[in-house]
């Protein structure tokens, strides 16, 4: 296309710069399979330039700008993103296949919300705490961790970026960001907003690139911290590289979360939440509850109700307001999902709805929303992350103990939910399940509370006040008397 979406420069050191190679990526519409824009591919030379710019902007260990300056710049960025709401939402809907309203809510609104959540923390966090010690005093400083390399996925390109960028900016860190090539085009609109917001040169840099360049960024000697969201396999590789370097890393990885329905589960309420709980973003959400664990006494009732609900959802163009399920993000994603559909049938699971490509959708990367019943927990489709609009239904014996055991029978531990008429029991069950986040009788996500993964779902936490910890480091200065030049409160 030549309608202004094409880009030919990289945003590095506060300006648009010619890339070091002539290689480009082409963004493709998930609904039409047609090109929607071309943008440059970054190389190692661009990484060197961006990291050097980020180090200059850091200003030693004090971080860029004062707390007030950082908070003000973050608010300006929120306003600049809001001014681009329609353009960003439309582009992400085209790139990922996310229905438009959801693309806006889960990306643009989330990004601005995160900036406004963390901006006040830049102003209220004390740089130093003065603590009485056995001898004299301890002056405990909070300092920015430094230059952060941020590698973000394609499924929620803005929100997963600002999970990292918002707390990092508030704490005075600088950032070198590698967007996914699959959705790299939208990062140029974000860079436009960054430029408009007037951040100092080098504070935020964008480098869309392939995995090899991403690894170079992760291991670059000028990088102090790595934050990654993506697949568990890629997370293992990044974790290994950071382990070799003793470099701090946050990993938000895959999931295979379970929705536990107890004997008294309120089925109408569960069905009302099923889309957001298990099929969010056409199934392309790591926290989706894709294993439905239901009591054997109500098995057929629940299977029939889930099947009817899922079968009723319109599948179509993500820009059409009536669409509930859009296409997935690319041919490779569709092929992978279809491989799991074949595997499920081969293993003996029963398809109650979906299971293929929707009729009349010859163009676009569409997969029907699919329900597998009669799923043994040992089946591949019950153990591996499919990352598409597919859920499995398995029976438990009706007891809390059996349901919790089944829920925890997974390599992952990211999310989950409990459904029961007894809220007190629901909270007890939620506390018993070893997972990072879990809800009772609704689907929820809260930027004010930490998101943490257990086992193969990741390391560290993002979101909440706790999210700033990944971008801080501590220094203790032992002093004999309280320093006159410190405004630190005594604790």
Question: Which are the catalytic amino acids?
Answer: 252
Q: Are the beta carbons of 141 and 127 closer than 8 angstroms?
A: yes
**What distances in angstroms separate CA 345 from CA 14, 328, 354, 386, one per listed residue?**
53, 21, 12, 14
Strand partners for 416: 258
User: Scanning the structure block, which residue is given the tokens 């960003």?
Assistant: 88
> Could you tell me if 68 and 123 are in contact, meaning their C-beta atoms sit under 8 angstroms apart?
yes
Q: Which three-class secondary structure state does DSSP give residue 394?
A: strand
Q: Is the dihedral of CA 63, 65, 68, 73 positive or negative?
A: negative
Determine the Cα–Cα distance for residues 420 and 435; give it in Å rounded to an integer.
19
CB atoms within 10 A of CB 105: 15
Q: What is the largest CA-CA distance in the chain?
A: 78
Strand pairing class (472-479; 137-144): antiparallel
Counting Cα atoms < 13 Å in the Cβ hemisphere of 461 gives 16
Cα separation, 373 vs 351, in Å, equals 6
**Helix (H) or strand (E) segment spanning residue 241:** helix 232-245
Residue 456 tokens, joined:
């193969």
Q: Is 216 helix (H, G, I), strand (E, B) or coil?
A: helix
Where do the DSSP E strands lie in 59-114?
A: none
The sign of the torsion formed by the CA atoms of 474, 477, 482, 485 equals negative
């Amino acid at each position: 296309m030549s309608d202004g979406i094409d880009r030919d420069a990289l945003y590095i050191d506060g300006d648009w710069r010619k890339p070091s190679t002539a290689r480009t990526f082409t963004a493709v519409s998930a609904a039409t399979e047609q090109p929607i824009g071309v943008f440059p591919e970054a190389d190692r030379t661009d990484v060197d330039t961006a990291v050097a710019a980020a180090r200059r902007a850091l200003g030693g260990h004090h971080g860029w700008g004062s707390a007030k300056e950082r908070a003000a710049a973050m608010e300006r960025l929120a306003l600049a993103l809001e001014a681009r709401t329609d353009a960003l939402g439309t582009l992400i809907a085209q790139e990922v296949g996310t229905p438009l309203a959801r693309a806006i809510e889960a990306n643009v609104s989330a990004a601005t919300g995160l900036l406004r959540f963390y901006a006040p923390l830049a102003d209220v966090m004390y740089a130093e705490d003065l603590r009485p010690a056995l001898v004299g005093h301890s002056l405990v400083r909070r300092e920015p961790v430094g230059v952060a390399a941020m590698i973000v996925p394609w499924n929620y390109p803005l929100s997963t970026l600002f999970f990292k960028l918002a707390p990092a900016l508030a704490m005075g860190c600088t950032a070198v960001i590698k967007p996914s090539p699959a959705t790299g085009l939208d990062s140029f609109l974000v860079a436009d907003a960054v430029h408009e917001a007037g951040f100092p040169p080098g504070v935020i840099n964008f480098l869309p690139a392939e995995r090899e360049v991403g690894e170079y960024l992760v291991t670059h000697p000028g990088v102090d911290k790595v934050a990654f969201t993506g697949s568990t396999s890629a997370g293992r590789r990044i974790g290994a590289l950071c382990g070799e370097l003793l470099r701090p890393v946050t990993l938000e990885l895959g999931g295979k979360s379970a929705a536990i329905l107890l004997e008294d589960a309120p089925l109408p309420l569960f069905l009302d939440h099923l889309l957001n709980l298990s099929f969010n973003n056409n199934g392309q959400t790591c926290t989706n509850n894709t294993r439905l664990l239901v009591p054997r006494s109500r098995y057929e009732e629940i299977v029939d109700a889930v099947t009817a609900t899922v079968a009723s959802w319109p599948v179509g163009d993500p820009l059409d307001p009536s669409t509930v399920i859009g296409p997935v993000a690319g041919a490779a994603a569709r092929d992978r999902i279809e491989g799991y559909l074949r595997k499920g049938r081969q293993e003996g699971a029963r398809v109650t709805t979906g299971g293929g490509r929707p009729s009349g959708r010859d163009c676009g990367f569409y997969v029907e929303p699919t329900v597998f019943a009669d799923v043994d927990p040992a089946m591949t489709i019950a153990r591996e992350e499919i990352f598409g609009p597919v859920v499995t239904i398995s029976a438990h014996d009706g007891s809390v103990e059996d349901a919790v055991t089944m829920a925890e029978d997974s390599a992952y531990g990211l999310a989950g939910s409990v459904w029961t008429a007894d809220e007190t029991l629901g909270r007890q069950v939620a506390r018993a399940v070893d997972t990072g986040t879990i809800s009772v009788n609704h689907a929820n996500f809260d930027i004010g509370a930490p998101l943490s993964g257990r086992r193969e779902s990741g390391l560290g936490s993002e979101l909440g006040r706790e999210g700033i910890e990944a971008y801080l480091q501590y220094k203790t200065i032992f002093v004999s008397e309280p320093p006159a030049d410190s405004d630190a409160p005594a604790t």
